[in-house]
Amino acid sequence: MFKLAFKKFKTKSISPNLAEVINVDTIEDKKDERLESDNQNVERLDISNARTIQTFPGIKPLCDWRAYKLKNHPGIIIIRDPFTERGRRYWIARCLRDYPRTPNIVNLNERLFDDSIRSDWWKQLGQCNDSKEFQRIKTAMRWTTFGYHHNWDTKIYEDQMQSPFPEDLTSMCQLFAFALGYDDFKPEAAIVNYYPVGTTLSGHTDHSEPNKSAPLFSFSFGQTAIFLIGGRTLDEEPSAIFLRCGDVMIMSEESRLCYHAVPRIIKTEKSWSSLLTNEGFDNADIALNLLDLDLLKKVGDPQFWQPFSNYIDDSRININVRQVLNKGDIKLD
Ligand SMILES: O=C(O)CCC(=O)C(=O)O
């Protein structure tokens, strides 16, 4: 069932029937009965009782968040783009410019890419003048890991295999975790996935973490993904849902160990090169020190922002954050 659905959405020769894909933006459109019945699986989540959170740069106030749950997949929560435009730009720039740098690990193969590219991909990409080589370097980047590095061969985390977990990402994840009542959540491992249009991620479960009860936080930026969420085995029929720029998905409870995949990236986002719409920030706000203030300012400069905008014009980025250790443990066995 899962593999068939993956194939159906992946196949390039036919356009998949996108009416089947859950689109949370249509949930409140009471006028259109067809849309409502398409979305019987989705319910708005009442977060009016969510924990009050401090203001956080680049994130809208809690009262403006729209959150949804999937009735057939208990534990999946989607917060529909709670970021401001400056916030989205900030995280896109972090994922491209900073996170794929040494000591973080990237997928780039040492036989195909020299050390300078493997240790600072974005900088070398910016210095490449040959359009064919530029495209080769750009599309080769598929993931970077930090915090505990996931070993894709052994599928285990090791104490010696760690790089520092960025403080800004820790603060941002803990803000969402706290709002949803996961006060003890500790971000300890992250995978940033890069998806040029046309790439996919096949069905898998995330079960390498010794702590399988902590939720997983997933942040999507750039172009839209069709995301499949299934059950604990490949026999169960998955649901397809759009994950759009700025969406935050939480995989908790039963869904934490369920099969999921990204069979398709769809180019839906308009060009990003426009000026930021009247979105300033208060320099005196102490919460600003949770982020890289210099970068937060710079992403509003059209010239600085242009290369990031070009990248995201035909790509998606996903930041996938997990807790590795069980509560009370200070290291892996
Ligand atoms: O890109 C996504 O939305 C999912 C990524 C994922 O499943 C993973 O990193 O394990």
Q: What percent of the chain has pLDDT over 90?
A: 74
Mean pLDDT of 283-291: 73
* Angle ∠(186,188,190) on CA atoms, nearest 5: 125
Specify the pairing of strand 42-45 against strand 67-70.
Answer: antiparallel
Q: Are 198 and 9 in contact (CB under 8 A)?
A: no
User: Would you say residue 30 has pLDDT above 90?
Assistant: no
Domains annotated on the chain, with CATH: 2-13+22-107+142-248+266-322 (2.60.120.590), 109-141 (no CATH)
The CA distance from 209 to 157, in Å, is: 7
User: Is residue 75 predicted with pLDDT exceeding 50?
Assistant: yes
Q: For ligand 1, atom 2, name the residue with the nearest CA.
A: 318
Over residues 140-184, the pLDDT tens digits come to: 999 999 999 988 888 889 888 999 999 999 999 999 999 999 999
What pLDDT shows up at residue 254? 93
- Among 4-13, 96-105, 124-133, 159-168, name the one with the lowest average pLDDT: 4-13
Which residue's CA is minimally distant from atom 3 of ligand 1?
318
User: Which parts of the chain fold into alpha helices (H)?
Assistant: 2-10, 33-38, 85-93, 115-119, 121-126, 131-140, 167-179, 293-298, 302-312
Please tell me the distance from the alpha carbon of residue 136 to that of residue 108, in angstroms, as a whole number: 11
- The answer to whether the CB of 58 falls within 8 A of the CB of 94 is no
Ligand 1 centroid distance, CA of 115 (Å) = 27
How far apart are alpha carbons 292 and 180 in whole angstroms? 25
Q: How far apart are CA 104 and CA 143, in angstroms?
A: 10
Distance 281 CA to ligand 1 centre (A): 32
User: Which residue minimizes the CA distance to atom 9 of ligand 1?
Assistant: 320
Q: Which of 50-59, 100-109, 289-298 has the highest mean pLDDT?
A: 100-109
CA of 203 to the centre of ligand 1 (A): 10
pLDDT at site 240? 96
Say what the pLDDT of residue 286 is.
64
Q: What is the mean pLDDT of the chain?
A: 90
What is the pLDDT confidence band of residue 31, given thresholds at 50, 70 and 90? Answer: very low
pLDDT for position 34? 47
pLDDT tens per residue, range 125-143: 999 999 999 999 999 999 9
Assign 285 a pLDDT band (cuts: 50, 70, 90): low
pLDDT in tens, 79-92: 999 999 999 999 99
Give the pLDDT of residue 80. Answer: 96
Per-residue pLDDT at 277: 62
Peptide bond into 210 cis (omega under 30): no
Residue 37 has pLDDT above 60, yes or no: no
